[in-house]
Structure 1
Amino acid sequence: MDKISRMKELIEILNEASRAYYAEDREIMSNFEYDKLYDELVSLEEDTGTVLSSSPTVKIGYEAVDELPKEAHESPMLSLDKTKDREALREWLKDKEGLLSWKLDGLTIVLTYRDGSLFKAVTRGNGEIGEVITGNARTFVNLPHSIPYKGELILRGEAVISYTDFDRINETIEDIDARYKNPRNLCSGSVRQLNNEVTAARSVRLYAFTLVKADGVDFKNSRREQMEFLKNQGFEVVEYHVVNESDILERIQYFADAVTKNDIPSDGLVLTYDDIEYGRSLGRTAKFPRDAIAFKWQDEIRETKLLKIEWSPSRTGLINPVAIFEPVELEGTTVQRASVHNVSIVKDLKLGTGDTITVYKANMIIPQIAENKTCSGRFDQDDGGMIPDKCPACGGKTEIRKINDTEALYCINPDCPAKKIKSFTLFVSRDAMNIDGLSENTLEKFIGEGYIHEYADIFRLSAHKDELCKLEGFGEKSYNNLISAIDSARIVLLPKLIYSLGIPNVGLSNARIICREFDYDLDKVRHATIEELSGIDKVGGVIAGSFVDYFKDERHNKELDELINELTIEVPELDSSNEAISGKTFVITGSLEHYENRNALKDFIESKGGKVSGSVSAKTDYLINNDITSNSSKNKKAKELGVKIITEDDFLQLSHEESRTVPVTSEE
């Protein structure tokens, strides 16, 4: 194939990937693969001196879809030129000062405020035309609805979903794995929803990174001044450091050391000149501005041998493919498995047992397959069941379902023990019924032996004492400890019981809100209508629909009736007499010294009529943090907004609980 023909082939492949990424919220290739093909195209264009009009090196993104109103940006949003060479960043900066910050991996949003209120929010789209998502943006958990500045303010920020929230959502939203395999895709789909109740349930955050317009404000020709101005308006800004030629390499290393601990997804760094006028004077190319450059981490790649594809069932019925390969060292740790996410990727990579593959850590965190060098494609052959037609857990039939052009494998047996095991694991977890001694492995044994069929059976395990004590690794001492833990769990608060049922989309916080609304009356809760539930603040139609659908199922109701015969449901006594707590909003962060864990402290605050939020905002009254001098994002936000930061001891004095001493469980 000649060079021009190869260029045309690459342009077609890259533009199709761009369409999927920007317009359809899905990925048909990894960032690693895209960058590799893109760099090949750039090299060919330099060799031939030819740049075709449809080349992604001169075009940006793809046209926005028609589901949301479209609007042109006042100024085009260009991509950034990029490098993987640290020394190249220092050469680019030369004798100037710059701002070095995270390059967050989410969805870029342009926000306009007028008269101190959010007026409009538009996605990046193709860089020239984006989609209006103003109603969705108002649900972002950390976005100020009103600001002190009353002129027209335009800024750009990155909407993101943290790894913590991504994991939490994957546990509660049915079938989410078939559609989203990383926080970026989940965020993009959440931000571009037609129903902003869905967005509100996804804990989307926005971090400002550029101020576009704020007439009448003197920024002293400094981007750092602009960032501080945005902070003072109540925005969370991307973490940045002022750098110069002498210390930039040290600062790059700081970010490199921090990336694996950062809860906010990132895919590199951005370096911008602090001198605004100097940056503007440099102008732009057809594709890139000249006042900023992106730094992409140099991926550490290792070659290894694929041993097998392991298929892992979930409680939703989705069966996830996981690549098992010969162990390799990556970014300082030994890695031997990587999620392949779905059937489509297994097929696209032409995976087969014994293939030679290369692996890396996406964003230096998540193991991924970069390339299959041998491409045997034995996934559809009888070599041990690359794509099984039977569920590995129950032996029942499987089926491949196609959602948004992505194929995923499902077990269609409603009584699949894997579904049961995952459901029971949630049921006994700390935030649910809190039964120690019932690990997933133990539950699997008990279900396999026929001791447990439904939730109520856990509370009848004493009927199988002789059999349990004879199980391998489970003697009389283990039995006695387990029965003691089970008996302790018989007294339960209604919100924990509701959460333990594993209702799709219903987390512990939602369960608390719903139970409180219906006066902790189980009969009222299980017979609540969609209209009643939708009217509750922070619930909305999506959660309401899942809740009502669950209790429409007669089997669920029968199992719940059996379960409550084994339990005593306590109604919390709300004490609003403590004026220091009642009606106040608290945020808890860091490890605790007096309360067993954050949930214990949260329960106490709510019992006194207070509220607990997951993020600091202008509505927060107190941030509880035993390290009040830390530079955590919550501490910074609290200081910016004037929210009082108190230690646990301060809180105990506030609540008149000075004498409290409880064993400690440290939480990150």
Structure 2
Amino acid sequence: MGAKEHKANIKRMKELTAKIREADTAYYRDDKPIMTDRDYDALTDELKSLEQNTGLTLSGSPTQRVPGEILEELTPVRHTRPMLSADKTKSVDDLVKFAGTRDVVLSWKLDGLTLVLRYNYGRLQQAITRGREGIIGEDVTHTVRTFLNVPLTVPVREPFEVRGEGVISWANFKKINLSLEEPYSHPRNLAAGSVRKLDAAEAGKRFLEFFAFDLVTDLKIQTKCWQMDFMETNGFSVVSHVKLSRMDAASIKAAVEQMDPKHYGYPVDGLIMEYDDVSYGKSLGATGHHENRLIALKWQDELFETRFLGIELATTRTGMVSITGLFEPVGIDGTAVSRAYLHNLDIFDEFQFGVGDRIQVYKANMIIPQIARNDTQSNTFTLPMVCPCCGEPLAVRTTSGGTRQLFCENPHCTAKLVQKFDHFCEKTRMDIEGPSATTLEKFIGHGWIRNFGDLYDLEQYRDEIVSTEGFGEKSFERLQASIERSRNCTLAKFIAGLGIPMVGRHAGRDLDAYFQGSWDEFEAAIVSGFDFTQLPDFGETMHKNIYQWYQDAEEAKLWRPLLSKINFIKESSTMNTNYNTPFYGKTVVATGKLKNYTRDGIQMKLLELGAKPASSVTKKTDYLIVGEKAGSKLTKAQQLGIKTLTEAEFEDMLAK
């Protein structure tokens, strides 16, 4: 196999891994399959074949099931070669002097946790942190096996070591931080904490990646670029780099300028320049601190003066309240910056703010707005100690890391109800496009929405919303258009969106049909003590859930304001009136993963056939359509003697 074909195979393996992982997420987590079993199996078979042919297996491969190992402590490990640092500079002129007349390699200086991976007999043997002075590290093999892209097996049999950085992308950092009670200030801290977790399963939730930048073992590879090729050929993701062949000062400076961290998906804190000639680099030796074969360019943080205006609080779904400093807009790197996250109460107190104070701000690593210092320190600003979402008093908690954070301890605070809003907006419920869980958390945390009805009054916050990170005018217009469309909805979708336990889409359709699409009739039935168990597929538990939900005063605050904002329309369905169809008037349940239908797709198909789609198996069920990985519904159907159909048998009956 040629080198070009080998690299193409590795690229294809990564593509297949991503596609299969996406399909797994859609099927197992979101309950919305995006491909048939046949297509899924074909992708998996292709991946297995490529792994066999290349001798490579990546840690993110669906063919691997890494056990959730839990350690009692991390084991110290001595490095075979001390992990020294690079000499540092903030001047590009120093890079020009370093390069001289030689070929050099310029790459990103990734900002995560440096690791060494040891391989022997073609397998990952050990993963080690830098540790104390680069001499004694810690064994973190159990967590590194959960990374998205670490080669677990390689075609090289002889022992070798690779050095690189464990990192979390900016996109994943933002997603993960929203789910944490104690959010991290930077992906570097999150990566370091995740790699060193004793529970591998917990680390596996953090989307860690490894980028190789150095071949530690001397394998007689003569140039740095060839070393990078060797690592890439063996399945490693390598740090982005470019070779500069004896360039003049202007060309080197131009190359540095082109490497803009704002357009790079991973955290970096500078650039690394290294001699391409490996032997020459080694001949330069090292100090006790750094190797002379390379130099790091650290970006200078240019400070900009502005004036402090105040604080913005936002409550997250965990109850933790974030603190953001507001200041007069100042232009930095071509953008107007007017806010900076302050992380915790201790940092806020250190600045001793007062409205109008002269402060110095900058963009850390040319990306994250930060407040550097307060030159005035009038200490006259009083932090509002009430939740911006529910208005309840805030509490101060000391986290496990020893820092103080603000928390809203009101169990009914709307900010903690992100999942309810997310459920309400889903396509199969109220079908409001645009607000992801992340967006909803921002809207709720700022107090813009406190109940479902507030979604229909967002126009009053247009200016604030369009200035929110990740949201602009076009996004707002799309959201508003979607909200306006949802004003006219069926009783079925409305009930499904309310989140009544066990009363979902199927029950919503039944209630819509029985009460002829009228909310007033549905509510009147509840008030008069209607027995919902008389409806098909409504058991005692569903009956009780409806009444408990209706009588919950806190739930009512969430949904009742919505009634004045929407119009109920009749459900329209294209039901087949041919009495000869085998499913007309029959109660049919589908379970497991079907090849040619999504969950919603099979329900709509059954409705078109005049059947009564149901979500649970009872004595009244006529047929159970069984897909892959069918569970308790199949067992219950067999116990009750209900007719089961494979998907093929279902379609054969339709054909006849």
**What does 1:39-188 correspond to in 2, within 5 Å?**
67-126=73-132, 127-171=134-178, 173-177=179-183, 180-188=184-192
Which residue of structure 1 lines up, in the alignment, with residue 653 of structure 2? none
1:393–1:470: structure 2 CA closer, same or farther, 3 Å change rule? closer
Residue 539 of structure 1 is matched in structure 2 by none
Instruction: Give matches, 1:562-581, under 5 Å.
Output: 574-576=593-595
Q: Which shifted more, 476-485 or 292-301?
A: 476-485
The 1:331/1:425 distance shift into structure 2, 3 A limit, reads: farther
For 1:281, give the aligned amino acid: S
570 and 81 in structure 1: CA distance in 2 versus 1, 3 angstrom threshold? farther
Change (3 A) 1:267 1:288: same
Q: CA deviation at 1:349?
A: 2.8
Provide the rounded CA distance (Å) in 1 between the counterparts of 2:461 and 2:313: 26
In the TM superposition, what is the alpha-carbon distance from 1:207 to its structure 2 partner? 0.1
Asked if 1 retains the 8 angstrom alpha-carbon contact of 2:432 and 2:482, the reply is no
Task: Read off the aligned partner of 2:146 and give its amino acid letter.
Answer: T
Choose which of 350, 353, 356 in structure 1 pairs with 2:355: 353
In structure 1, give the amino acid aligned to 2:168. Answer: I
Specify the alignment match of 2:214 in structure 1: 210
Is the 1:469–1:479 contact (alpha carbons within 8 Å) kept by the matching residues of 2?
A: no
The CA deviation at 1:405 is 1.2
The 1-side partners of 2:212 and 2:459 are apart by 60
Q: Distance in 2 between matches of 1:70 and 1:370?
A: 37
What is the Cα deviation at residue 90 of structure 1? 0.8
Deviation at 1:106, TM superposition (A): 0.4
Q: How far apart, in 1, do the equivalents of 2:209 and 2:103 lie?
A: 29
**Identity rate, percent:** 35
Q: Distance in 2 between matches of 1:390 and 1:331?
A: 35
> CA offsets, 1:276-322, max 9 Å, x none?
11111111122111111001122232011111122111121111110
Aligned residue in 1 for 2:385: 389
Cα displacement (A) at 1:555? 9.0
What's the counterpart of residue 410 of structure 1? 407
Amino acid in structure 2 at the alignment position of 1:105:
D
Q: Which residue of 2 aligns with 1:285?
A: 287
Cα–Cα, structure 1 residues 368 and 555, in superposed 2: closer, same or farther, change >3 Å? farther
Distance of 1:212 and 1:471 partners within structure 2: 59
* 2:240 is equivalent to residue 239 of structure 1: yes
For the structure 1 residues 425 and 254, does the alpha-carbon distance in structure 2 shift closer, same or farther, using more than 3 Å as the test? farther
- Cα offset for 1:345? 1.2
- 1:37-83 C-alpha deviation (Å, 9 max, x unpaired): xxxxxxxxxxxxxxxxxxxxxxxxxxxxx941111211111121111
| 3-state SS, counterpart of residue 152 of structure 2 | coil
Distance 2:186 2:458 in 1: 43
Structure 2 residues not aligned, in runs of 5+: 1-71, 463-476, 505-537, 542-547, 560-567, 574-587, 598-625, 630-656
TM-score (norm 2): 0.58
**Cα displacement string for residues 428-460 of structure 1 (whole angstroms, at most 9, x for unaligned residues):** 556895424888699899965x7669xxxx9xx
Once residues 362 and 432 of structure 1 are traced to their aligned partners in structure 2, the CA distance between those partners, rounded to angstroms, is 42
With over 3 angstroms needed to count, the CA separation of the structure-2 counterparts of 1:113 and 1:396, relative to structure 1, is same
Secondary structure of the equivalent of 1:151?
coil
Distance apart, 1:274 and its partner CA: 0.7
1:123/1:130 contact within 8 Å kept: yes
- Per-residue CA deviations over 1:618-651 (Å, capped at 9, x if unaligned) read xxxxxxxxxxxxxxxxxxxxxxxxxxxxxxxxxx
2:448·2:461 contact (CA, 8 Å) conserved in 1? no
Distance 2:305 2:237 in 1: 40
Work out the CA distance in 1 between the residues paired with 2:459 and 2:169. Answer: 45
Structure 1 position 214, deviation (Å): 5.2
Deviations 1:206-232 (A, max 9, x none): 0000001154xx41x211111100000
The equivalent residue for 2:633 is none
**In 1, Cα distance between the equivalents of 2:448 and 2:240?**
49
- By how many angstroms is 1:480 displaced? 6.1
CA offsets 1:348-373 (integer angstroms, 9 cap, x no match): 33333332211111121111111222
Aligned to 2:8: none
CA contact (8 A) 2:103 2:277 kept: yes
- 1:483 maps to 487
- Who is 2:607 aligned against? none
Task: Give the deviation of 1:393 after TM superposition.
Answer: 2.5
Q: Check whether the contact 1:136–1:193 (CA below 8 A) recurs between aligned residues.
A: yes
SS of 2:85's equivalent in the other structure is coil
Pick aligned residue for 1:251 from 252, 255, 269: 255
Instruction: Give, as a single letter, the amino acid of the residue that structure 2 aligns with 1:151.
Output: E
Contact 1:137 1:191 in 2 (8 A): yes
In our comparison, the structure showing a higher alpha carbon Rg is 2
Cα offset, 1:572, TM superposition: 7.6
TM-score by length of 1: 0.57
For this pair of structures, how many residues does the alignment match?
Answer: 434
Preserved CA contact (<8 Å) 1:436 1:482: no
Cα pair distance change 1:317/1:243, threshold 3 Å = same
Conserved? CA contact 2:448–2:458, under 8 Å: no
Contact 1:359 1:371 in 2 (8 A): yes
Cα distance per residue 1:572-616 (max 9 Å; x no partner) = 8744489xxxxxxxxxxxxxxxxxxxxxxxxxxxx9999xxxxxx
- Whole-Å separation in 1 of the counterparts to 2:461 and 2:276: 66
Deviation, structure 1 residue 251: 1.3
Which structure 2 residues correspond to residues 644-663 of structure 1 after superposition, within 5 A?
Answer: none
SS of equivalent to 2:329 = strand
Q: What amino acid is the match of 2:181?
A: D
Query: Quick one: which amino acid aligns to residue 408 of structure 2?
Result: C
CA distance in 2, matches of 1:342, 1:446: 23
| SS of match in other structure, 2:291 | coil
Q: Secondary structure at the match of 1:329?
A: strand
Amino acid at match of 2:80: E
